[in-house]
Structure 1
Amino acid sequence: MPTSTVTVDQLIAEYAGPIAELIGLTATDYEASAGGLANLLLAAADEVTSLDQVGDWFREAAADLTAVDRLGDSGDQRTQRLLVRVDSTLYEAKSDLELC
């Protein structure tokens, strides 16, 4: 469940492995960073059909993670808002994938 304070490390721990496994990717092939998680999500988006909402969520989360990668995971309000949004988005995407 999404929380109010989020770090990149928490997102990686919570979502990288399960999403990669559900899609058929290997999480350890991607760097353990905001940029690495963004790359994993973009690769995962390429694996789902173009009409699937999950792919859109992966792309949205990847865009936010790319912004976090550029800003740095300093914990400022702007970064935290992005990370909370990523958490919420990935929670929904992972939940949908698990139903398939």
Structure 2
Amino acid sequence: MTATKTITVDQLIAEYAGPIADSVGLTATDYDATAGGLTNLLRDAADRLSSMDQTGEWLEEAAAELDAIARLGDGGPKTQELLKSIDSTLYEAKSDLELC
């Protein structure tokens, strides 16, 4: 049996906050290193993109899922499921922004 990878909000912040912020002219350190801070950064980044941009939709989706995590609380299989979804979504968004 293989161990499943556990994802944390801190890992998401470390992996994605800086590159996404830099891509749209924001500064990641202007935001709290919390789920709420990442949510705000993602929404601000999405606001800087065209409303027709798929990347903006991904950022909004990830922000909404981070809000759901705040409601669920820490831990548990539902939270981990959401964190994995956020990780995947932010990976796509970051990759897309790097191409611009």
Scaled by the length of structure 1, what TM-score is found? 0.92
Q: Is 1:40 aligned to residue 41 of structure 2? A: yes
Identity %: 69
Aligned equivalents of 1:17 and 1:96: distance in 2?
15
CA RMSD of aligned residues (A): 1.2
Structure 1 spans left out of the alignment, 5+ residues: none
Instruction: List gaps (5 residues or longer) in structure 2.
Output: none
Structure 1 stretches of at least 4 aligned residues deviating more than 3 Å after TM superposition: none
Rounded to whole Å, the distance in 2 between the matches of 1:39 and 1:70 is: 16
Match of 1:86 in 2: 86
Of structures 1 and 2, the larger Rg is shown by: 2
Find the aligned partners of 1:17 and 1:98 in 2 and give their Cα distance.
12
Q: Which has the higher contact order (CA 8 A, sep 6+)?
A: 1
CA distance in 2, matches of 1:4, 1:22: 28
**Alpha-carbon deviation of 1:64?**
0.3
Q: Scaled by the length of structure 2, what TM-score is found? A: 0.92
